[in-house]
Each structure stands twice: as structure tokens, then as C-alpha cells.
């Protein structure tokens, strides 16, 4: 929150300066409204997110037809202007029929597919909250952007799940983790189908053979971890020590396997509790999970409700990974996508920690096996995991070496300071964002150590860290 406020001030000042140079007017004059930029400044994905706006809430109303793969509906965004705005962009891929700002028709342009450019009838003053309604219809399965075709659906099931991009396929958004917002998700499907999304299920209404299911997430979330799944599911729910949980497994999974998946899903509250004992309070008001029959090829940490492409008896580690992301990735999100090791390295480390505390290999041995096992000329070391490049954010080295770096940090600053660092990190950045630089600052503040060399060796060098005490390797 602090950082966001600072940015608003900086942008407003920039607007004032612009106004001055354009008109020569005294500094007390109102700034000249300027367009919000088409991106948020992420070096990996320059068009992600948009300048000048801060979305406070999304009210999504989507209708999905399985037979045609057509998605139609409207989303209402409650937005705060971060500077005097003559126009602003949203990130979206489906055809749009109408945009209204505070109930008044707005101009719409599309300089490129991904950028919906909205020009309100009158400029919007800095700090003002306004409402945008976008009406749309199209086939998300036919939409692709920069090589990504992220719609996952067949004639019987659909799951909106992907990273780092998913929202533009099903609702217009400010698509960058730095702009978190509350989500109210309503999805309408044939009444025989179910809908599962983030947060709490608040209701279901049936009309003309179609059912609208409404889900509401209390805590703000990044756009890419907003999700919905629709189809036929076995469902279970409950409350475990005050924490509501909701789990679902696709009915299309053969009965024996579905039974195992449901057994595993029901372990979610227990795993959340264990993670809580390590990382501090669970950051959200509900938990759960979904097992889809669709072949996603990956599991994803959708906020409050991870989605898995199957869960077997041996999938505990996978669940620990996705649930660890609720703290590390979802509640504390990347500042920029180059910070991805903070998500993936940390979730991998929590898998190792889980093993260590449940009869598996100690984390020290896990680290040293991998350190010794990969010689200096092994490509394993040939990546700066603190800035891996847009095409490598999900490279296995980001995961494994990120996890190794955390265990090395634990060995460098000691167990007590390490866990204090982790808990301070998730508490201090809750429902917010964080960068590698900020993580280092927390570790240094907690431990009193200068970690410049450590961070350089582990995160910003494409080489094997030297086996030194300073690198946490002695």
C-alpha cells in the first residue's frame, strides 16, 4: 500500500509538470489530463497492466456455452484514477460491443488486440473512483496473444487457469499482479453443470434452464489467479478449525481415481495448518482445491482454490507447493515477473521443508546433493534466476535453485533468523507485492548480516556459487 501511494504521488507530479510545460500556467492550476499508459512497466511483459488506473473491484458476469465454446457477458470494474485521465486501457482479448464509464457511453479503440482503449466522454480527475462496464462476447478458445492460447475447455468442462496470463480470455482487467482487486465472479452455465471459483460460494439462481453461480473473494487478488471451473464435479465442503474449505473433483475422472483425488483434496485443511505453523497465519478466509479432467499439464495456485490436473496418493508434495503459494505468490505477489523465484523457489523450498519434517531427507542434504551433483560447467548454473528472462520464468532452474538458495540462506543466517525472515516477509507484504531487493532487505534487517554477496552469487550470477560460508555452503 505504501508503495502504491508513492507511485500515485509521483505520477500526479509528472502530470503537473506536463501541464505546466504545455500551458505555462501557475502550479496551482489543475493538471492536464493525460492518457494512462498501455503497460505497467514490467520489462518481461510491457503491455501487461495499464498506467493511470487502480482497479478496486471486478464484478464479473459471464455466461459460458459448452457446445459452441462461446463466452458472453459483462464486467463492471470499480476503478480509481491514479492521475488526471483523458483515457485508459484495459487488457482483454474478446470482441467488445459496448463500454460505459459511470453509465455514459465511452469511446473504444483497439490499437492492438490485447489493448482495449477507453476514452470517457469527460476526463477523470486524479483520485476519483469511477465505474466501467464492458460488454463482450466471443470464443476464448479462438483467442491468442503473443503465442499464448490459454483457454482450456472441451464440450463438458472448462477451467480458466494459467500463468502469467489468464484474465484477458474471460474478463477485461488491469492484468498485472501489482494491481490486486476484490473479485465477485458470477458464471452462468446450463443448470446441470456446476461452477467453482475463488473465495466463498454465495449463491445460485436458476432461470430458463441456466444456473448462475456466484462466488466472492474477500481478499484482493492478482488477476492471473482469479479462476473458474465449470462442468460436472463431485463436491465436498466443511469447516476445519474455523477455516471453511470447498473441494471438487471432475465427475469425468474414473470413480476409483476420483475417490483418491477427493481423499487428497480433503487433506487441504491439514496441509494449510502445517504451512501456517511454518509461515504464520493463513492469509485468506477460505481454502480448497479443484481436480480437473482437462489436460492442463500443470497445477496452479488459484487464490484460495488451487487447481490440479489429477491427484494421486503421492501428490502431497504438489499440494504443499500450490498451498505454499497462497502465502508466497498469492498473498505476497511478485513486484515484477522477473521476481518469479520468490514464488517458485519458495514453494519448492516448502516442499523440501515438508519432506524434512515428515520423515524425508533433511533440507541440508537436499541442497548439498544438488550442489555437489551439478559441476560448475553444468547448464544447471547457467541462468540468473533473479532475472531469468520472460521465456524462462517457469524454467526448472528457477524452482530448484530458488529452493536451494533459501536453504543456503537458512544455513547462512541460521534457522531462527531464517524463519523470522520468512514470517516477517509474508506478514509485511500481505495482500501486496514484493521484489527480490525487498526480500533481501528483510533478511538483512532480521539477521543483521550484509547479504549483498550472497544474493549476487545465488540470484544474479549465471555461475555456480563458490562453496563458502558467505554463500551458506559451509
Chain residues in the site for Zn ion (CB under 5 A): 344, 347
Give the HSE-up count for residue 14: Cα atoms under 13 Å, Cβ half-sphere: 15
- Determine contact, residues 317/354, Cβ cutoff 8 Å: yes
> Vertex 278, ends 314 and 2: CA angle to 5°?
120
Shortest Å distance, C-beta 344 to Zn ion = 5
Closer CB to Zn ion, residue 48 or residue 344? 344
- Partner residues linked to 239 by β-bridges: 244
CB 413 within 8 A of CB 447: yes
* CA gap 407, 415 in Å, rounded: 9
Q: For residues 344 and 438, which CB has a smaller minimum distance to Zn ion in the complex?
A: 344
CB of 42 to Zn ion, least distance (A): 19
Any residues with CB less than 8 A from the CB of 68 and at least 6 apart, and which? 139
Question: Smaller CB distance to Zn ion: residue 291 or 347?
Answer: 347
Strand, coil or helix: 236: strand
User: For Zn ion, which is the closer residue by CB, 8 or 324?
Assistant: 324
- Smallest gap from residue 332 Cβ to Zn ion (A): 14
Gyration radius of the chain over CA positions: 23
CA-to-CA separations, 246 to 201, 206, 281, 296, in angstroms, rounded: 9, 21, 19, 21
Give 302 or 336: the residue with its C-beta nearer to Zn ion. 302
For the bound state, the minimum distance from the C-beta of residue 461 to Zn ion, rounded and expressed in Å, comes to: 23
Distances (CA, A) of 115 to 284, 287, 391: 31, 33, 22
Among 131, 139, 138, 94, smallest CA distance to 116 is for 94
Q: Give the shortest CB-345-to-Zn ion separation in angstroms.
A: 9
Dihedral, 47, 49, 52, 53 alpha carbons, nearest 10: 150
Min CB(55)–Zn ion separation in Å: 25
Beta strands at 307-308 and 287-291: parallel, antiparallel or unpaired: parallel
Rounded to a whole number of angstroms, the minimum distance from the CB of residue 307 to Zn ion is 12
Specify burial of residue 154 (Cβ count, 10 A radius: 0-12, 13-18, 19+): middle
Edge-to-edge strands, sheet with 152-153? 152-153, 158-159, 228-231, 194-197
Least distance between Zn ion and beta carbon 342 (Å): 11
Q: Which is nearer to Zn ion, 194 or 433 (CB)?
A: 433
Q: Which residue is nearest to Zn ion (CB)?
A: 347
Residue with smaller CB distance to Zn ion, 161 or 413? 161
Measured from the CB atom, the residue of 184 and 322 that comes closer to Zn ion is 322
Choice between 71 and 221, CB closer to Zn ion = 221
- To the nearest whole angstrom, how small is the minimum distance from the Cβ of residue 123 to Zn ion? 42
CB of 127 to Zn ion, least distance (A): 37
C-alpha cell at 382: 547457467
Closest to Zn ion by CB, 344 or 417:
344
Read off the C-alpha cell for 414. Answer: 541460521
Buried b (16+ CB within 10 A) or exposed e, 347-374: bbbbbbbbbbeeeeeebeebbbeebeeb
Amino acid at each position: 500500500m505504501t508503495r502504491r501511494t508513492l507511485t500515485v504521488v509521483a505520477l500526479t507530479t509528472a502530470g503537473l509538470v506536463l501541464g505546466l510545460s504545455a500551458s505555462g500556467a501557475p502550479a496551482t492550476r489543475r493538471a492536464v489530463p493525460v492518457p494512462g499508459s498501455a503497460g505497467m512497466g514490467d520489462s518481461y511483459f510491457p503491455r501487461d497492466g495499464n498506467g493511470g488506473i487502480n482497479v478496486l473491484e471486478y464484478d464479473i458476469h459471464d455466461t459460458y456455452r459448452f457446445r459452441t465454446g462461446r463466452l458472453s457477458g459483462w464486467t463492471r470494474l470499480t476503478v480509481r484514477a491514479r492521475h488526471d485521465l483523458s483515457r485508459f486501457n484495459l487488457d482483454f482479448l474478446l470482441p467488445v460491443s459496448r463500454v460505459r464509464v459511470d453509465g455514459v457511453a465511452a469511446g473504444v479503440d483497439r490499437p492492438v488486440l490485447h489493448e482495449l482503449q477507453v476514452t470517457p466522454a469527460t476526463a477523470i480527475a486524479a483520485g476519483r473512483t469511477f465505474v466501467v462496464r464492458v460488454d463482450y462476447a466471443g470464443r476464448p478458445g479462438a483467442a491468442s496473444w503473443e503465442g499464448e492460447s490459454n483457454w482450456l475447455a472441451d464440450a463438458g468442462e472448462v477451467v480458466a487457469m494459467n500463468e502469467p496470463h489468464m484474465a484477458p480470455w474471460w474478463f477485461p482487467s488491469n492484468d498485472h499482479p501489482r494491481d490486486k482487486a476484490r473479485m465477485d465472479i458470477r458464471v452462468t452455465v446450463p443448470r446441470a453443470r456446476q461452477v467453482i471459483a475463488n473465495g466463498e460460494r454465495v449463491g445460485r439462481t436458476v432461470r430458463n434452464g441456466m444456473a448462475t453461480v456466484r462466488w466472492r473473494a474477500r481478499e484482493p487478488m492478482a488477476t492471473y489467479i482469479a479462476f473458474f471451473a465449470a462442468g460436472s464435479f463431485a463436491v465436498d465442503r466443511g469447516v476445519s478449525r474455523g477455516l471453511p474449505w470447498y473441494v471438487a473433483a471432475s465427475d469425468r475422472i474414473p470413480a476409483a481415481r476420483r475417490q483418491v483425488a477427493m481423499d487428497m483434496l480433503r487433506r487441504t485443511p491439514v496441509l494449510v495448518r502445517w504451512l501456517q505453523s511454518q509461515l504464520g497465519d493463513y492469509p485468506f478466509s477460505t481454502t480448497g482445491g479443484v481436480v480437473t479432467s482437462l489436460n492442463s499439464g500443470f497445477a496452479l495456485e488459484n487464490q484460495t482454490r488451487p487447481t490440479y490436473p489429477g491427484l494421486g496418493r503421492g501428490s502431497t508434495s504438489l499440494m504443499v507447493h500450490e498451498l505454499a503459494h497462497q502465502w508466497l505468490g498469492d498473498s505476497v505477489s511478485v513486484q515484477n515477473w522477473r521476481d518469479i523465484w520468490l514464488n517458485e523457489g519458495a514453494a519448492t523450498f516448502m516442499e523440501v521443508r515438508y519432506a524434512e519434517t515428515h520423515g524425508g531427507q533433511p533440507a541440508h542434504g537436499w541442497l548439498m546433493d544438488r550442489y555437489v551433483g551439478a559441476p560448475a560447467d553444468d547448464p544447471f548454473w547457467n541462468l540468473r534466476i533473479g532475472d531469468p528472462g520472460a521465456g524462462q520464468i517457469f524454467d526448472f532452474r528457477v524452482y530448484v535453485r530458488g529452493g536451494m538458495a533459501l536453504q543456503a540462506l537458512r544455513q547462512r543466517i541460521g534457522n531462527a533468523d531464517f524463519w523470522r525472515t520468512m514470517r516477517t516477509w509474508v506478514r509485511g507484504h500481505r495482500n501486496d507485492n514484493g521484489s527480490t531487493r525487498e526480500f533481501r532487505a528483510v533478511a538483512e534487517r532480521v539477521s543483521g548480516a550484509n547479504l549483498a554477496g550472497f544474493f549476487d552469487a545465488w540470484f544474479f550470477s549465471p555461475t555456480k556459487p563458490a562453496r563458502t560460508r558467505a554463500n551458506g555452503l559451509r
